[in-house]
Amino acid sequence: MTMFLAFVLLVLAGTMVLFFAMLGQLAARLPEQSNEPTAQVEPLENARLGAESLNWPAELAHLRDRERALVLVLSSSCASCEQIAAQVPDALDRGIDFGVVVSCGVRERGEDFIRRHELERAKPYLDHGGAWSTGEFNVDSSPAALLFRNGRLDTALLFWTLDSALAATGHLHSAHSAQEA
């Protein structure tokens, strides 16, 4: 019986060593985690690039005929969107021009999101159920940056910081140039 228990303990010890070695290998393959939001942007694979909306919301209509226009799609139920929405007033103060779409399942929740983050100055469009962004451009993820050229969707990106979206679409650079002039 003693030999059997010694054998079981040896197998258990070997299994534990193997288990921790596998965890170490797994940890080495994962990217380093940080509390800081990433500056990375990723293309939205399923977005309908080249699409042109025939039903621009009144709040965004002023962007339709511009050579280049940026629209941010935020969701009232997205934690990253909460952080980004808090940065919007500062970006507006820096003279950066863009539209904001707030997608929400419940209108009151979207209105509260706009009020809490002081987005009224951006003249946001409240996209109930994501009908416009999803229906017109197949954009059902947030936060998303949509770059339009002459009213057609040219680029659709997922982003995690407002400055990374502005830089990726050329709006951060143009705002700095305008301030320096």
Q: Which two tokens stand for residue 13?
A: 């010890």
CA neighbor of 135 nearest in space, from 103, 100, 99, 169: 103
Tell me the per-residue pLDDT of 95-134, one tens digit each, with 9 for 90 and over.
999 999 999 999 999 999 999 999 999 999 999 999 999 9
pLDDT above 60 for 38: no
Q: Report the chain's terminal Cα–Cα distance, integer Å.
A: 87
pLDDT category at 2 given cuts 50, 70, 90 is confident
Tokens of 60: 């965004």
Question: In the chain, what are the domain boundaries?
Answer: 41-180
> Per residue in 155-168, pLDDT tens?
999 999 999 999 98
Of the chain, the percentage scoring pLDDT greater than 90 comes to: 62
Considering the chain, what is the average pLDDT of its residues? 86
Full-prediction pTM beyond 0.85? Answer: no
Q: Characterize 61-87 residue by residue with b for buried, 16 or more Cβ atoms within 10 angstroms of its Cβ, and e for exposed.
A: eebeeeeebbbbbbbbebebbbebbee
CA 40 to the chain's CA centroid: 10
Tokens, residue 145? 């940056």
Structure confidence at residue 27 (pLDDT):
62
State the SS3 of 58-123. CCCHHHCCCCEEEEEEEECCCHHHHHHHHHHHHHHHCCCCCEEEEEECCHHHHHHHHHHCCCHHHC
Mean pLDDT of 4-31: 72
Fold classified for 41-180: Glutaredoxin (3.40.30)
Q: Which of 21-30, 46-55, 159-168 has the lowest mean pLDDT?
A: 21-30
By percentage, how much of the chain surpasses pLDDT 70?
82
Q: Say whether the peptide bond before residue 89 is cis (omega within 30 degrees of 0).
A: no
Calpha distance 178→181 (Å, rounded): 5
Phi, psi angles (nearest 5°) of residue 155: -145, 140
